[in-house]
Structure formats: structure tokens, C-alpha cells
Amino acid sequence: MGGTTKPAIIAAGDGFSVWYRKFQDWYTYDRHVENVHLTLSTHPIGCPDPNFPVGLDIVNSSGRTLERVVFKLSAKRSGHRTDLVENTQYAQIKDDHILSQGRDSAFA
């Protein structure tokens, strides 16, 4: 009987380890990311590129300071699968503004 108890204890320990890791990821990262909001708008005033008139507003409602935001942009015509910005400078956008809690950043 002693031989069958040990694997059960190890399996329970592994289960706790996975749960703890997921909790740690949520506590240190995921719950903060959920409170960072990106809003895209077309035709913003003052956009420097008339062929790509998209404005971005980043709002940091999390409890942590943002050091950078990286996201991928996809643009498709209705009824088409072709991504119009794939392999362009707009496909992946990086913003390295440092945003403390409650601050926002906007750019076009």
C-alpha cells in the first residue's frame, strides 16, 4: 500500500504547483493587463499619414506602471480575408511611453 500512496501525493503536489503558477501569473500580470484599454478610431484629427488615418488611445487603469505596449493590428475589407496591413510597418505597433496608474497616451 505504501507504494501507491507516493504517486498520488506527487500528483497532488504537481496539481498544486500548476494551480499556484496560474494564480501567480494572474496576480502579477493578467489582472493588470485586463485593466489596460486600447481604443482605435478612424479619421482622428492631426493624423500624419492620410493613407492610414487611425488613432490609438491607451488608458492604464491597472495598479501598475506600464513600460511598453505591443499589439498586432489587422485590417480587412468586409467579406475578404486579405489582411491589408500584413507585412507593413503598421502590422505590429510598439509604444514605449511610460504610463503610471490612471494615465493615458494617444497618438495617430
- Give residue limits of the domains in the chain: 1-34, 35-108
- With a pLDDT cut of 70, the percent of the chain lying above it is 81
pLDDT tens digits, residue range 59-97? 888 888 888 888 888 888 899 999 888 888 777 878 788
CA atoms within 13 A on the CB side of 101: 4
Q: pLDDT at position 14, please?
A: 63
Q: How many CB atoms lie within 10 A of CB 66?
A: 20
**C-alpha cell recorded at residue 36:** 489596460
Top pLDDT among 26 and 4 is at 26
Q: Which residues contact 6 (CB under 8 A, 6 or more apart)?
A: none
